[in-house]
């Protein structure tokens, strides 16, 4: 079955959820893009990956007068972000953990939109001192509210074990280290991508096919 939005490849948007100078987000996203490039779905042309870096969006703190669920966007930055997210069939969210949650910039970017997330598969790739799992779990709740379909497999990178700090000054808190995740991390990411692509081929809630199936079950 074709995915609901397009008969072409599943277009996966890989959202980089941190923006601070010296952030590790782009390194994590670069690693994820490399792993994705080796995934069967991408190699066969069944999926594509596009990086959506929040640092490039420069979204102000939410300044839309109408809540996103009404789809009445007034600002050019919202319309631009809406077009980028709306063009994706699925997402991988790359989020660090900031004080046991996601960075404010990522929550803000989710809050800007609504329909653009609805019914689309999403995977969570978190990182932090302890794998960023608390951020990942918060993000799962946030995405559930905007009706994204969060896939079961999540990937967690731990700063002290999935980055290589050899040669870095141990007293320098800004040393980013070199990303060097364990093999199991790539395997988990690959499994997550498989789930995302499979979910993208399922009818979305509200699709005519899904509605028919529901009617058959009821009748
Ligand atoms: C404001 C702030 C809060 C943080 N809070 C946590 C935390 O609660 N748990 C954790 O494991 N790491 C925490 N860290 C460490 C980050 O997860 C780690 O530095 C990560 O690389 C940050 O992502 P970034 O480099 O893309 O900004 C925090 C870092 C920052 C800047």
pLDDT in tens, 111-129: 999 999 999 999 999 999 9
Atom of ligand 1 nearest to the CA of 25: 26
Along the chain (219 residues), what's the average pLDDT of each consecutive run of 10 residues?
Answer: 64 98 97 98 98 98 98 98 98 98 98 98 97 98 98 97 90 90 96 98 75 45
Number of domains comprising the chain: 1
How many angstroms does the Cα of residue 23 sit away from the middle of ligand 1? 9
SS3 call for 219: coil
- Whether residue 2 lies inside any domain: the answer is no
How many angstroms does the Cα of residue 173 sit away from the middle of ligand 1? 11
Q: Given this model, what pLDDT does residue 64 score?
A: 98
Tell me how far apart the alpha carbons of residues 219 and 215 are, in angstroms, rounded to a whole number.
Answer: 6
* Domain range enclosing 16: 10-218
Q: Given this model, what pLDDT does residue 170 score?
A: 77
How many angstroms does the Cα of residue 74 sit away from the middle of ligand 1? 33
Q: Given this model, what pLDDT does residue 6 score?
A: 53
Atom of ligand 1 nearest to the CA of 22: 25
- Whether residue 196 lies inside any domain: the answer is yes
Q: Given this model, what pLDDT does residue 169 score?
A: 87
- Whether residue 101 lies inside any domain: the answer is yes
- Enter the DSSP assignment of 48: E
- Whether residue 69 lies inside any domain: the answer is yes
The per-residue DSSP string of 118-166 comes to TT-EEEEEEEETTTTHHHHHHHHHHHHHTT-EE-S--EEEEHHHHEE-T
Which among 54, 128, 172, 178 is the best mutation to test ligand 1's pocket, defined by most ligand atoms within 8 Å of the CB? Answer: 128
Name 94's Cβ contacts closer than 8 Å, sequence gap at least 6: 14, 15, 16, 17, 25, 28, 29, 32, 125, 127
- Whether residue 4 lies inside any domain: the answer is no
CATH of the domain at 99: 3.40.50.360
């Amino acid at each position: 079955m074709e995915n609901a939005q397009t008969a072409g490849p599943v277009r996966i948007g890989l959202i980089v959820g941190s923006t601070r100078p010296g952030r590790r987000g782009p390194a994590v996203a670069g690693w994820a893009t490399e792993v994705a490039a080796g995934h069967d779905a991408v190699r066969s042309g069944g999926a594509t990956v596009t990086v959506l870096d929040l640092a490039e969006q420069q979204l102000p703190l939410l300044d839309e007068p109408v809540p996103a669920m009404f789809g009445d966007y007034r600002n050019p930055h919202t319309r631009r972000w809406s077009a980028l997210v709306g063009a994706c069939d699925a997402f991988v969210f790359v989020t660090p953990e900031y004080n046991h949650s996601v960075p404010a910039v990522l929550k803000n970017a989710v809050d800007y939109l609504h329909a653009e997330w609805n019914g689309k598969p999403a995977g969570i790739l978190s990182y932090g001192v302890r794998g960023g799992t608390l951020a990942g779990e918060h993000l799962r709740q946030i995405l559930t509210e905007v009706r994204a379909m969060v896939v079961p497999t999540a990937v967690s990178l731990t700063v002290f074990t999935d980055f290589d700090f050899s040669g870095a000054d141990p007293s320098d808190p800004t040393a980013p280290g070199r990303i060097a995740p364990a093999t199991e991390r790539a395997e988990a990411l690959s499994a997550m991508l498989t789930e995302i692509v499979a979910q993208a081929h399922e009818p979305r809630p509200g699709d005519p096919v899904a509605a028919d199936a529901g009617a058959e079950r009821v009748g």
